[in-house]
Amino acid sequence: MHSSTKQHNFSAGPAILPPSVLKEASQGVRNLNNSGLSILEISHRSPEFDSIAKEAEALVREIAGVDDSYAVLFLSGGASSQFFMAPMNLLGENETAAYLDTGVWSTKAIKEAKNFGNIEVLASSKDRNYVYIPKRFKKPKDAVYLHMTSNNTIYGTQFQKFPDVEAPLICDMSSDIFSRPIEANKFGMIYSGAQKNIGPAGVTLVIVKKDWLGRTDRNLPSMLNYMTHVEKGSMFNTPPAFPIYVLMLTLRWIKQKGGLAAIEKMNKSKARLLYKEIDNNPCFHGPVDKKDRSLMNVCFLPTKKEFTAPFLEMCKNVGISGVKGHRSVGGFRASIYNAMPRRSVQALVNVMQEFGKKYG
């Protein structure tokens, strides 16, 4: 395939961005709003950047339905930094936090949290290599919060609804944020790396209840204290300016598409198309429990190991990129985030049908 042709990009992340966003962002790199300056070289204290940051925050609040009782922060360090920042800020060393273990990222969050307090793992789906979402668990009465990962990128599972528990929920939404409506007020804190659905790598969105901050007496480094970033409006140090700009453009695109209800409808339509083919094709099967299937990361396996290489080759020949499964699961994974057009999903389904005719 000629390298200048745009690929069907099923990468798990950094992931696909809307073409209109890429076009405007590249213009901003050359000349931001006809200012004669690049977004890469303007001061983060300038009126130009201030208006970008303010619009990004306003769009987060509007799209997610986040009121003034929450702070909206744009931080560095990826969601992985939030694995320790959340317990460091919110969990006293003699307190208990509850965690749900649904895959690699929740396991990493649990490991980090153990440095700051007592951690109780309420439920885990490790027994079946994380192909389902555990649903039966009792929250310990003394838990400060319940931490969960809404969508499991590697395994292709997703919480279809959030648990009703008395403790505030902390949710890592890195791979499905703004892919569907969320009841923001159910959460004490939501965090997400941007690079799946809302922008490029380099900025992490944190939405946190203001009255929940400063609750431990731990002596925190300034950069790792949420209060620092709330008080300085995410401008304590130079923020990731370009990623925030692209995030703002992506949120504009989501709003223009009709917001989260419209986005969810598109995502469900794409997922249905692909899962239907997986279930009907003799060459593939889906390992995930059907009721827990992700709308974002569609994982499927070949019915024979020797199908893997020829299928990936067939995909490559028609410009389909990024469908090789994660090394811990194998097989295939199609990440169909917000910006993935339905025609790309159809292109993948066409290859699967062709493969089924040839090998099935």
Is 161 labeled as catalytic in the residue annotation? Answer: no
The arrangement of strands across the sheet holding 118-124 comes to 70-75, 204-209, 187-193, 169-172, 143-149, 96-101, 118-124
Question: Burial, 183: exposed, middle or buried (Cβ in 10 Å; 0-12, 13-18, 19+)?
Answer: exposed
Write out the two tokens for 195.
Answer: 């690079």
Please tell me which residue in 101, 176, 196, 253 is annotated as part of the active site: 196
What one-character-per-residue DSSP string does 57-94 give? Answer: HHHHHHHHT--TTEEEEEESSHHHHHHHHHHHHH--TT
Look-up: residue for tokens 């974002």?
296
Please tell me which residue in 67, 127, 138, 172 is annotated as part of the active site: 172
Write out the two tokens for 251.
Answer: 């949120």
Please list the alpha-helical segments (H only) found in the chain: 19-30, 47-64, 78-90, 104-113, 226-231, 241-256, 259-280, 308-317, 342-359
**Cα–Cα distance between 174 and 298 in angstroms, integer?**
16
DSSP 6: P
Phi then psi for residue 349, to 5 deg, are -60, -40
Is 172 labeled as catalytic in the residue annotation? Answer: yes
Closest CA to 13 of 201, 173, 141: 201
Q: What share of the chain is helix, strand, coil (3-state, %, to 5)?
A: 40, 20, 40
**Cα–Cα distance between 148 and 161 in angstroms, integer?**
12
Please tell me which residue in 105, 212, 253, 292 is annotated as part of the active site: 105
Name every residue whose Cβ is closer than 8 Å to that of residue 188 and which is 6 or more positions away in sequence: 90, 145, 168, 169, 170, 208, 209, 212
Q: Which residues are catalytic?
A: 105, 172, 196
